[in-house]
């Protein structure tokens, strides 16, 4: 580990621990029967938008072109509205452990989309990794059929919604990779979360209006604040740091922290169990992701071909 990369490792580790806590904490809010998935998603999006706009007052101002403003709108639909909305709704239906395990399929999904859109080569190792990873996700989804203490700890529709969230984020990351690299995280997120807020409010206004705010406990308010600040605002600051200092393969390895953190917290709170099937699902998913990220990229293959050609001259 290079000395200059320590901040990157710390950033990725912290961000994924915070995200790992998101599933069980969101589940606690949603099972309070006072806040539904529409309301929590809107609180998260609007809260993050407000924080990023406040942060923009203390950072260098960047001008965004009109064409990029339009792109940011569609990026917000995929990367925030569909991603976060599907995830919160999925968590309301399934268990925190299931939701966090499904999250680890993101590198596999991204690799498939990159192959189709960016023409990244599909090698035998990638195909093996995709097959093993998808098998783990299917094992998890098909085995989600039980409840614990009245709390739904596994639901196929919840797992599929969490999977949809990963698809939407992966598509966003691949399609708007160039846009993401042109602006600072604060500039990107203040506009994207503002657009997301505008999209969410018409659909969630009635849900927010009926929330019994005076009846919510301080614990619920604290957990909602965590979703906004810890699970959204801080993580969106930390991720670019890790992505800038670490290779993508190394950065993606920290994604594995999420199900570990979520599992420990969910089991400790009595919200879920950690049986043999979930262990097998995790092993399948982790093995699949490992095979995918160990496969060679298009740049590496092109470099090898160029090296072989030069050696023959």
More confident residue, 159 or 240: 159
The reported pTM is 0.74
Q: Is the pLDDT reported for residue 2 higher than 70?
A: no
User: Which domain, by its residues, includes 126?
Assistant: 3-312
pLDDT of residue 148: 43
pLDDT, tens only, 251-294: 666 776 777 777 777 777 776 666 777 778 778 877 876 776 66
How many domains is the chain built from? 1
Contact 288, 132 (CB under 8 A): yes
Which token pair is 233? 């605002």
pLDDT, tens only, 49-93: 999 999 999 998 899 999 999 999 999 999 889 988 888 888 878
Four-residue CA torsion sign, 236, 278, 115, 310 = positive
- The size of the chain, in residues, is 313
Strand partners, 148: 151
Q: Is the pLDDT reported for residue 210 higher than 60?
A: yes
pLDDT, tens only, 138-176: 676 555 544 444 444 556 788 888 888 888 877 887 788
* Separation in Å, CA 253 to CA 157, 243, 258, 266, 294: 27, 12, 11, 22, 11
48 band by pLDDT with thresholds 50, 70 and 90:
very high
Q: What's the average model confidence in pLDDT over 15-37?
A: 86
């Amino acid at each position: 580990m290079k000395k200059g990369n320590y901040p990157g490792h710390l950033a990725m580790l912290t961000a994924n621990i915070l995200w790992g806590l998101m599933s069980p904490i969101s589940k606690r809010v949603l099972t309070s029967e006072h806040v539904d998935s529409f309301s929590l998603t809107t609180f998260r999006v609007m809260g993050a938008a407000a924080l990023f706009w406040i942060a923009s007052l203390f950072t260098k101002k960047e001008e965004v072109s009109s064409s990029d403003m339009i792109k940011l709108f569609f990026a917000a639909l995929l990367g925030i509205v569909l991603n976060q909305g599907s995830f919160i709704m999925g968590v309301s239906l399934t268990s925190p452990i299931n939701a966090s395990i499904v999250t680890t399929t993101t590198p596999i999904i991204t690799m498939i989309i990159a192959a189709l859109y960016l023409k990244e080569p599909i090698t035998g190792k990638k195909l093996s990794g995709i097959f093993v990873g998808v098998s783990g996700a299917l094992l998890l989804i098909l085995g989600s059929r039980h409840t614990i203490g009245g709390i739904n700890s596994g639901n196929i529709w919840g797992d599929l919604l969490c999977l949809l969230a990963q698809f939407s984020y992966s598509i966003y990351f691949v399609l708007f990779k160039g846009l993401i690299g042109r602006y600072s995280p604060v500039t990107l997120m203040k506009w994207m979360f503002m657009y997301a807020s505008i999209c969410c409010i018409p659909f969630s206004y009635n849900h927010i209006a009926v929330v019994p705010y005076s009846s919510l406990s301080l614990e619920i308010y604290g957990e909602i604040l965590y979703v906004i600040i810890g699970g959204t605002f801080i993580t969106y600051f930390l991720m670019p740091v890790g992505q800038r200092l670490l290779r993508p393969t190394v950065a993606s390895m920290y994604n594995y922290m999420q199900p570990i953190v979520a599992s420990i917290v969910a089991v400790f709170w009595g919200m879920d169990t950690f049986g043999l099937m979930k262990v097998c699902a995790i092993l399948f998913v982790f093995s699949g992701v490992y095979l995918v990220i160990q496969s060679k990229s298009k740049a590496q293959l092109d470099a090898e071909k160029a090296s072989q050609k030069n050696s023959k001259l």
